[in-house]
Structure 1
Amino acid sequence: MTRQRERYFELYEDDFGLSALTGRLASATAPDAVRALELAAEVAGDCEGEGAVELGVDLRCLLDSGLPDGTLRAAWLAATHERFDPADFGTDLRTWLTGLADLYPARTRRRRQVYWLERPHPELAEEELREAVITEIRASTSAPTSASLPATVAEALQDIVGEADGELGFRLLLRILKAWNVPVGKEQYDRLMELDAKLGYPGPLVYDGLDIQWLPLDPTRRDGSGDFGISALSERFSGDWWQPPAREGVEQAAAGDDTAQTPGTAAALLYEDASRLLASPLTTDTVTTLWLAASGRGLNIDVLGIDGRDWLRLIADVSEKRLRDIAPSYTPVVGPVRTELAPPVLEVIREASPYLATRTVSAHWLGIPGPAAVAALEETVTHADPDLGYRLFLRLLKVLSVPLTAHQYAGYRALGERFGYGEDHVPWAVDHLAPAN
C-alpha cells in the first residue's frame, strides 16, 4: 500500500493511525479485546472519520510487508507497553491486526482543493526518511538511558522502517520512547522536530509525553524561531476585534514557549525586556508611547488608566510567577546589553524615519504620530536595549504596513542574524512588505 502524504497538522491535533491506537492502549487500564476494538473505533473516528484512512493504511503497510510475526509482536508489545497482547485473548497478533484491517480497509483520501501557492503536501523522499528514522532508532536504543527498552525493539523497528513504512516506523518509535519513559536529549529532540516539520505533523505528536532533557534555562540562547519578549507581547494584543484582558494576555505570553525552548524561556525573556526598560531612564510617557505604537493601540493602557511603568511591573511580576511555577530553581537575571549593535539599529530606524514621520499609528482614534514613535524607539535603543529596540522597530513597520525595498529587507534579515534571531523572526514580521515576498 503506497502512503498518500498529507499536511497532517490540518487534519489532526495529535497522533493518528496505528501509533495512536498503541498509545491509547498503553494508557488504558487492563484493556481487553472489546476495549481494544472500542479504542480502534475512536482512532478511526478522529477528524470526522478521516482517522480511518491512516489506520487502514498503517495496518496494510504492516500486514503486506512480509515481516515475520516475531517482528510485529516485538514492536507491538513495546508500543503498547505490553498492556494489550491478543495472545491473552485466544488469538495471535497477525490475526487480530487482519481482523482490524477488515474493519478499516486501506483507502486513499480524496484530494482536497488547495488555494495556496506553497506545496500542498509534504515531499520527503522515502529513502531519506528511512535513513533519518533508522538513525533515530539507533540513537534512542543504544544510549545507556534506553536500558528499560525490550532488547528486541531496535531490530523490529528498523525492519518495519526498511520493509513496511518509514513514516509509520517513526510514529511507533515515538510511541515506544513515550511508553517506556526513555529520556531524549535536546539535540535529538531537535532532529525529531525537524522530521515533524518535514512530514507536516501536528507538533504535539512529537513532544506531548516525550521525556525531553532540556538545557538549563538561559534567555541569551535563541532556540525559538519567531519573535519573543515584549515585542511578541505587543503583537498578541494587536488584533482588530478582540484582545485578551491585560493580565490574561501577559500570562498567555509568559507561558508561550516555542517548542524548541526550555520551559520558562518565554517568561524569562519577557522579564528581561521589562526589567531593562524599568531600569532605564525612559519616562513613563515614552514607555506608554512605545507600547501603544508597537501594539497598534491594541491594548490602550492610557485609556485604561494604566501607567506605562506599572504596565512593565505587571509584565515582570507575571513573568516571575510563571518562572516560580515552571522553573523554581531558576533565578531571573538580566544579561548584558548588546551595545555594539546600537549604531546599526539606529541607522535602520533613521533610514526609515522620513517615511515613518508621515504616518500615524491608529490615525482614526487617539493617533500616535510617527515622529513620536520613532523618538521612543531611538531612546529605547540608546538608553535601554538595542535588541528590544530593533524588535519593536520591526513591529512598527508591520503596524504601519511600511513598504520595503528588497535591499532593506535583506539588511533587516542580516541584522536579525547578528542578534541571533530564529530563522522565522524577521520574515514573519516584514516579508510581506518587501516586493519579492
Structure 2
Amino acid sequence: MARQREQYGILYEGDFGLSALAERLFVTDRSPDEAQSLRLASEIAAVTEGEGAVELGVDVRCLLDSPLPDDIIRTAWLVATHGRFDPAKCESGVRGWLRRLAERWPERERKQAPGQWAARPSIAEEELRTAVAAEIRASAGPLRRRVAESDHVALPSGAIVESLEAVARQGDGDLGLRLFLRVLKVYDVPVDKEQYDRLMALDTALGWPGPLVYDGLNVLWPPIDPARRDASGDFGLSALTSWFEDAWQEDTARARVRQAAAADDSAQTPGSAAALLLADAHRLLDSSLPTETIEILWLSASGRGYNIDRGGIDARDWLRLIEDVCDERLREITPQYRHTAPPLRTDLRDAVLRVVREATPLLTDVNISPRWEPIPGASALAAVKEVVTHVDADLGFRLLLRLLHVVSPSLTQEQYSRYQALGRQFSYGDDHVTEALEQLHVTPGERG
C-alpha cells in the first residue's frame, strides 16, 4: 500500500500508528492480551479527532501486503514491545491479528481536504529504506547486547536486527524507522550525537513531530560547549530579547529568563541554552561598555518589551540576574559544568562592522517603540557597533539581526544574501537568519 505523506507534526504531538500501539502495549500495567491490544489500538485510532485511524490503517496494510514472513513480523513486534505482546499467541496468529486490525481500520480518506495541509514531505521511498537500514545496522552491536541482557522472551541475537531491517526494506521505511526508534527506547540503547542528528534529519524529511524521535531516546550528548552552534535558530542574549517581546506579563521577569535558559534546541546538549546565554551576559558584564549603552541594547533589541529603565533596574544588575538564573539551570542539569568563555571571532569583526555601516540608512530615521518613549534607531545601531568593536562580533551581529527584526525595514536581495552568508561563517543554524528576518520585505525577487 502506498503511503501518502503528511506534515505529521501538524497532526500529532508524538508517535502514531502501529509504533504508537507498540508503546501503549509496552507501558500497560499488565501483560496485554489480544482484546486489550484491540482496545489500545482504538485509542490510537481516535487521536486527532479520528485522524489517527489513517496512519494505523496504512501501517497495518504495509505489513499485510508485504512479502515478510510471519516470524520476521513477530520478532520485530516482540522487540518493539519488549516482549510484552506476542501476536503469534493470538488465536489467528500474526497475520490474523493484523487482519483484525485492518478490518476495524481500513484504508480511508482524511476528514480534512488535502489543500488544507502544508506542503507534503517528499522523500523517495528507496532513499528512506536505505537510510533506515543503515541506522539499524549502525546500532546493531549495542542493540544486540541490550536485548541479550534483558529478561524477556529469548530471541536469536541475529534475528532482531535482520527483522527490523526487513520491515524497513520490504514493508515500509516510515514504519520501519518508527519501530526501530521504539526498540532503541525500550532497551535504552545509547545513540551518539552523530546518529541522533541523522535521525532528526529523517524526522524533518518525514514531517514528523520532533518528540517522536527525541522523547525517551538515550542520546550520548557531548559536553556543554558554548563554542558549539547546534541550535537551528537564535541563541544567547539576542534570543532572550525575543522572549520579552509583546505580552509576556503573565510571568515575572526572572521566571521568563528561566524559561529561556531552559529552552534547549532539540539538537543541543541539555544546558546549552543557559551556557550560551551566560557567555553573552558574562562578556557584556566584563566589558568596558557604559551601563547606558547596555541599557539601550536591551531596550532596543527587545522592542521595549521589558522596560528596565522604567523599573529602575540597572542594566548590569539585569545581566547579573540573567547570570544567576543560568547558573541555577546549569547546576540542575550538570553540576560539574564550569563556565569558560568561547573564543572570540575577531576574524569576522570587519565583516560585521561593514554590515552595521550598511544598515545605517535602514535605522537612521527610525524610532524603536515610537508611541512610547522612543529609542532612536541610530542610537541603537551605535550601541551594536560598540559591541562589535569592543566586546564580540558574534553577539553584535546577532543583536543587529534582532534590531532589524524589531524595526522591520525593507531589504534588498543582496543585503539579505549577505546576512545569510555571514551567518554561515558564524556557523549559525539553518533557520537563524531566516527566522530573524522572516517578516521583512525583500526586493527584488525571492529570498535565496
* TM-score for both structures, normalised by structure 2: 0.93
**Residue of structure 2 equivalent to 1:46:** 47
Cα displacement (A) at 1:23? 0.9
Structure 2 CA distance for aligned equivalents of residues 351 and 161 of structure 1 = 52
Match of 1:148 among 110, 127, 146: 146
Cα displacement (A) at 1:341? 2.1
Structure 2 CA distance for aligned equivalents of residues 88 and 159 of structure 1 = 22
Check the 8 A contact 1:43/1:51 in 2, yes or no.
yes
Structure 2 CA distance for aligned equivalents of residues 54 and 145 of structure 1 = 27
Structure 2 CA distance for aligned equivalents of residues 423 and 87 of structure 1 = 47
Structure 2 CA distance for aligned equivalents of residues 137 and 229 of structure 1 = 36
Structure 2 CA distance for aligned equivalents of residues 101 and 51 of structure 1 = 13
Cα displacement (A) at 1:244? 4.0
Deviations 1:309-334 (A, max 9, x none): 11111111111111111112211222
Letter in 1 for 2:21: L
Cα displacement (A) at 1:91? 5.2
Structure 2 CA distance for aligned equivalents of residues 290 and 241 of structure 1 = 19
**Residue of structure 1 equivalent to 2:151:** none
**Residue of structure 2 equivalent to 1:315:** 322
Check the 8 A contact 1:4/1:108 in 2, yes or no.
no
Match of 1:335 among 342, 350, 354: 342
Question: For 1:172, what is the secondary structure of its paired residue?
Answer: helix
**Which residues in structure 2 correspond to 1:33-432 (within 5 Å)?**
33=33, 34-87=35-88, 90=91, 92-110=93-111, 112=113, 114=115, 120-141=119-140, 143-144=141-142, 146-149=144-147, 150=155, 151=157, 152-239=159-246, 244-432=251-439
Structure 2 CA distance for aligned equivalents of residues 316 and 197 of structure 1 = 34
Check the 8 A contact 1:190/1:260 in 2, yes or no.
yes
1:5 aligns with 2:12: no
Structure 2 CA distance for aligned equivalents of residues 162 and 11 of structure 1 = 26
Structure 2 CA distance for aligned equivalents of residues 378 and 259 of structure 1 = 32
Cα displacement (A) at 1:242? 5.9
Cα displacement (A) at 1:368? 0.5
CA RMSD, Structure 1 to Structure 2 (Å): 1.8
Structure 1 CA distance for aligned equivalents of residues 144 and 220 of structure 2 = 13
Structure 2 CA distance for aligned equivalents of residues 416 and 22 of structure 1 = 42
Query: Would you say how many aligned residue pairs link Structure 1 and Structure 2?
Result: 434
Structure 2 CA distance for aligned equivalents of residues 254 and 374 of structure 1 = 26
Check the 8 A contact 2:74/2:87 in 1, yes or no.
no
86-95 vs 210-219, which moves further: 86-95
Calculate percent identity across the aligned residue pairs: 56
Structure 2 CA distance for aligned equivalents of residues 73 and 225 of structure 1 = 39
Check the 8 A contact 2:227/2:343 in 1, yes or no.
no
Structure 1 CA distance for aligned equivalents of residues 381 and 67 of structure 2 = 68
Letter in 1 for 2:58: V
Deviations 1:113-146 (A, max 9, x none): 5468xx61111111111111111111111x3464
Deviations 1:185-228 (A, max 9, x none): 11111110000000000000001011111111111011111110
Structure 2 CA distance for aligned equivalents of residues 113 and 298 of structure 1 = 39
Check the 8 A contact 2:245/2:305 in 1, yes or no.
yes
Cα displacement (A) at 1:2? 1.6
Cα displacement (A) at 1:240? 5.6
Structure 2 CA distance for aligned equivalents of residues 28 and 110 of structure 1 = 30
Check the 8 A contact 2:74/2:88 in 1, yes or no.
no
363-372 vs 195-204, which moves further: 363-372
Cα displacement (A) at 1:415? 1.4
Structure 2 CA distance for aligned equivalents of residues 377 and 86 of structure 1 = 64
Structure 1 CA distance for aligned equivalents of residues 7 and 116 of structure 2 = 14
Structure 1 CA distance for aligned equivalents of residues 192 and 293 of structure 2 = 44
Cα displacement (A) at 1:96? 2.1
253-262 vs 412-421, which moves further: 412-421
Check the 8 A contact 1:398/1:430 in 2, yes or no.
yes
Letter in 2 for 1:120: A
Structure 1 CA distance for aligned equivalents of residues 250 and 366 of structure 2 = 24
Structure 2 CA distance for aligned equivalents of residues 156 and 366 of structure 1 = 67
Cα displacement (A) at 1:105? 1.7
Structure 1 CA distance for aligned equivalents of residues 407 and 96 of structure 2 = 64
Structure 2 CA distance for aligned equivalents of residues 46 and 307 of structure 1 = 50
Structure 1 CA distance for aligned equivalents of residues 420 and 194 of structure 2 = 26
Check the 8 A contact 1:146/1:182 in 2, yes or no.
no
Question: For 2:167, what is the secondary structure of its paired residue?
Answer: helix
